[in-house]
Structure 1
């Protein structure tokens, strides 16, 4: 039997809702303790220059192992 970590990060995947991610966390035995969003950056060429722009926000939940 493998031992689970006390804390785990869960990302909301492409085409997945926040509720789907929370259900996946619960199925793995974790409960959410914190929600964070981080920007996903992309490089865009404008007028011969390379600029960095925000593509979208990525949602991440930190989960704590449920005590049974």
Structure 2
């Protein structure tokens, strides 16, 4: 069975991504979220701040 990862792009909703998966013949089996961080210098010290998240679905072919 074939598996493929689908990332939710900035300009699309989760439903848009799921529709894209379905049109390519895949069904979601796993959802993964990864935080996105950026380094910020405050008071001369580097700090890491969360700025968003990346959502990725793993799909299997139907």
When normalised by structure 2's length, the TM-score is 0.91
Shift of residue 47, structure 1, vs aligned partner: 0.7
Instruction: Say which structure is richer in strand.
Output: 2
**Residue of structure 2 in register with 1:40 after alignment:** 36
Deviations 1:26-49 (A, max 9, x none): 111110001111101111111111
Runs of 4 or more off by more than 3 Å in structure 1?
Answer: none
Unaligned runs of 5+ in 1: none
The runs of 5 or more residues in structure 2 that have no matched partner are none
Over residues 2-55 of structure 1, what are the superposed CA-to-partner deviations in whole Å (9 max), with x where a residue is unaligned?
xxx711111100010000000000111110001111101111111111111111
Give the total of aligned pairs: 62
Task: Please state how far the C-alpha of 1:61 moved relative to its aligned partner.
Answer: 0.4
Structure 2 counterpart of 1:59: 55
What is the distance in 1 between the residues matched to 2:12 and 2:2? Answer: 24
Q: CA RMSD in A?
A: 1.2
